[in-house]
Amino acid sequence: MVGVDNLVKVYGDAGGYRALNGISFHIPKGQFAAIMGPSGCGKSTLLNILGLMDQPTSGTYSLDGVSVGSLSDAARTAVRRDKLGFVFQAFNLLPRMTALQNVCLPMGYAGLSRVARRERAFHLLKKVGLEGKEQRTPLELSGGERQRVGIARSLANSPSLLLADEPTGNLDSKTAVEIMDLFKGLHAEGMTMLLVTHDPSLAAQADRILRIKDGNVIADETPRAAA
């Protein structure tokens, strides 16, 4: 499903800072993987490359069996739109739009009709437990609710891979549990997921933990809960 092989990312000229140092791993379809590591270990760089927001300096990245690491900007955008879902730590909802409009946004870029978009957005918001709050703007929602909108939005174009970057980092522990339950629900439905986190208790709920340090995988473990 997701395969990276010998991925290198160097910032600046050759001989500059090596954020990723020949990292390789493979995530099969339907797996819920967590990536852990201290700050500056290359997590964000890895996530940017996996999210096709950035290009690796060398190495290959294949998604759904297609090599996508070195595509043009337009092609990467299309893959990002159709196959990837992002959940951000800071939610990144557009403040002047309602929850519904926020969820509709990626479908608009994918070219869905207005009616189809609205229908699916209603469905997704219901799925994340926000039925009846579709017309609220992010300012009128609690932190947990905002992240639910963010998750609904990430699912808009039925992605094959969900990338979550510290999705509970801005939430209290009780809400964090609710959000994690939501993720686990998605996983149960067969969604392939990659969760970047600091929090060992969150990572422990995944199928697999990749520990990263200095731009490389130092440990690939299966947590006890999943075992």
Partner 1 sequence: MNVGESFRTGFVEIWSHKTRSFLSFSSIAFGVAAILYTFANVNNMYERRTKAFDIAGPGRMDIEKKEAPGSAAVTGLSKGLTSADAAAIRAALPWLYMVSPVLRVGEEIRDGDFVDRTSIEGVTPQWRRRGWVFTMRGRFFDEYDLETAARVCVLQEPGGWAGKKPFWARWWKDDGFESHVKRSDLLGRTLRIGDGLYTVIGVLKNPPRDKDPRWFLRGGSSVLVPLTTAQRYLAKRSETDALDGVDTIVVDTGAVETIPRARRRIEALLSGRHRGVADYEVNDFREMVQNMLENMRKYAVAVLAVGIVAILAGGVGIMNVTLATIFSRIREIGVRRALGATRADIMIQFLTEAMLLGVLGGVAGISLGMLGIKNLSDDGAEQIAALLWWHFPATLAISAGTALLFALYPAYQASRLDPVEALRYE
Judged by the rule CB under 8 A, the positions of this chain that interact with partner 1 are 48, 51, 53-54, 73-74, 77-78, 80-82, 86, 88, 92, 94, 96-97, 105-106, 108-111, 114, 153, 157
Report the side by side order of strands in the sheet with 58-63: 17-27, 2-11, 58-63, 66-67
The count of other CB atoms within 10 Å of the CB of residue 13 is: 6
Residue 129: phi and psi, rounded to 5, are 85, 30
End-to-end CA distance of the chain: 21
Q: Give whichever of 15 and 111 is closer to partner 1, judged by the CB atom.
A: 111
Nearer to partner 1, 165 or 207 (CB): 165
Nearer to partner 1, 54 or 221 (CB): 54
Among residues 92 and 175, whose Cβ is nearest to partner 1?
92
CA distance 73 to 75: 6
Q: Tell me whether residue 76 or residue 208 sits nearer to partner 1 (CB atom).
A: 76
Contact predicate 186/193, CB 8 Å: yes
| Closest distance to partner 1 from the beta carbon of 53 (Å) | 5
Q: How far is the CB of 106 from partner 1 (least distance, A)?
A: 4
**For residue 65, what are its two tokens?**
């069996």
Bridge partners, 7 (sequence order): 23
DSSP for 59-103, written as a single string: EEEEETTEE-TT--HHHHHHHHHHHEEEE-TT----TTS-HHHHH
Q: Which is nearer to partner 1, 93 or 206 (CB)?
A: 93
Q: 136 phi and psi, to 5 degrees?
A: -85, 150
Q: How far is the CB of 121 from partner 1 (least distance, A)?
A: 13
Query: Measured from the CB of residue 219, what is the shortest distance to partner 1 in angstroms?
Result: 27
State the minimum distance, in angstroms, from the CB of residue 81 to partner 1: 2
Q: Find the shortest distance in angstroms from Cβ 223 to partner 1.
A: 29
